[in-house]
Amino acid sequence: MPLQAFAKSAPLSLGVELELQLIDRFDRDLEPAADELLARLEGAALPGQVTPEITQSMIEICTGVCDNHAQVQEQLRYTRDALLAAALPLKLDICGGGTHPFQHWAERQIYEKPRFKQITGLYGYLAKQFTVFGQHIHIGCPDGDSALWLLQAMSRYVPHFIALAASSPYVQGEDTAFQSARLNTVFAFPLSGQAPFELGWEDFGRYFSKMERTGIVGSMKDFYWDIRPKPEYGTIEIRVLDTPLTVDRAAALAGLAQCLAAWLLEERPFKPHADDQLVYTYNRFQACRFGLDAQLVDPQSHQPYVLGEALPALFERLRPQAERLGAQPALALLAESVTRRESDADWLRAQRQSGRSLPGVVAAAVERWAA
């Protein structure tokens, strides 16, 4: 079938999805308790949704459609508190972070849902290894052409979001030396990475039709791109962020995305070009590996720069949008961590270096989430 029409949505509206870890209160390993937790939440008056994810040891929380950073923060805090209350009698804890520090993928259980079983049949063991945890940010766009232009322009800032959200230094009990090791798991899927360079919805529809005729894809859900259009919502969806350790940081990252989208759409400070893709994968790797210390290459000038040193100027450039959209607290929170050169990945490593065991690191992350 042809690609569906791009739905109408309020320009610059926000929606946030967070994939969360379900933690056994005693051994701090992942616990396959999604069904029990979801049952306790059934009928709860939440601002968004709580849904299962691909394995039984994870869930996803979603906000409703929000106007600004403050609404995202309020909704995430409310849902967090409801989750913690529901988890308490189950002897279950919840935390953020892009990976669980010591869980073993072979022990995971696929959630009983037709799409998850289909993914397992196609991708084999990668489905269980997909027990990683990310934040997705939806940004409302007035039409399909604007959405694709914003998608391509926002692609230059994929490393920025990776570094600011990085919270997955440990995998299978090992320090990976990456700030965001989670994206290495996502990159194993064949339809991941960068979206093709299209700037018009009609042209993108032709691309989608060709892909559909191959039998490789049936819907936009089959693309695991770093940023993808979501025509049914009238949004683009940024998918490269690890789940932060706190809901306040998750809300701040959404506020940054909204300000950045406003600046890009309103001022059109540059024209996206297919040549941007020349340095895209390298810049993406640098951000995953080194976070705020990543050495990026500007796609226009081809000049190198250090990501953490460039972020303060970006925050300053976005100040008018932040003031208009009420996102000053969001940018201030992120700017403080840039000044300290401390991401959530750095915080987790600091817990380990202070003498905690890996279960102790998980316990500290649980406390941080509940704060």
pLDDT tens, 198-236?
888 999 999 999 989 998 888 888 898 999 999 999 999
> Do residues 238 and 139 make contact, with C-beta atoms less than 8 angstroms apart?
yes
Q: How confident is the model at residue 183 (pLDDT cuts 50, 70, 90)?
A: very high
Minimum mean pLDDT range among 52-56, 78-82, 188-192: 188-192
Q: Supply the pLDDT for residue 187.
A: 85
Rounded to an integer, the average pLDDT of 245-271 is: 97
Express each pLDDT in 89-128 by its tens digit: 999 999 999 999 999 999 999 999 888 988 898 889 988 9
Fold of 14-370: Creatine Kinase; Chain A, domain 2 (3.30.590)
Q: How confident is the model at residue 261 (pLDDT cuts 50, 70, 90)?
A: very high
Chain mean position to CA 103:
20
Q: Supply the pLDDT for residue 324.
A: 97
Express each pLDDT in 286-295 by its tens digit: 999 999 999 9
Distances (CA, A) of 139 to 234, 240, 256: 8, 14, 11
Minimum mean pLDDT range among 131-135, 169-173, 183-187: 183-187
Q: Is the pLDDT of residue 1 over 70?
A: no
Alpha helices, DSSP H only, in the chain?
34-41, 69-87, 114-123, 126-129, 144-154, 158-165, 182-186, 201-214, 247-267, 277-290, 307-317, 319-325, 328-340, 344-353, 358-370
Residues 6 or more apart whose CB falls under 8 angstroms from that of 20 comprise 58, 59, 60, 61, 83, 94, 95, 96, 133, 243
Rounded to an integer, the average pLDDT of 246-266 is: 98
Amino acid in position 66: C
**Burial class (CB within 10 angstroms; exposed 0-12, middle 13-18, buried 19+) of 77:** middle
Query: Which tokens belong to 170?
Result: 């440990």
To which H or E segment does residue 269 belong? none
The Cα–Cα gap between 207 and 195 comes to: 11
Amino acid in position 271: K
Q: How confident is the model at residue 188 (pLDDT cuts 50, 70, 90)?
A: confident
Rounded to an integer, the average pLDDT of 343-370 is: 98
Q: How confident is the model at residue 192 (pLDDT cuts 50, 70, 90)?
A: confident
Average pLDDT, the chain: 95
Rounded to an integer, the average pLDDT of 333-338 is: 97
What residue ranges do the domains of the chain occupy?
Answer: 14-370
Transcribe 172-220 into DSSP letters.
Answer: TTEE-S-SB-HHHHHTTSTTEEPPP----HHHHHHHHHHHHHHTS-SSG
Rounded to an integer, the average pLDDT of 5-33 is: 96
Rounded to an integer, the average pLDDT of 139-152 is: 96
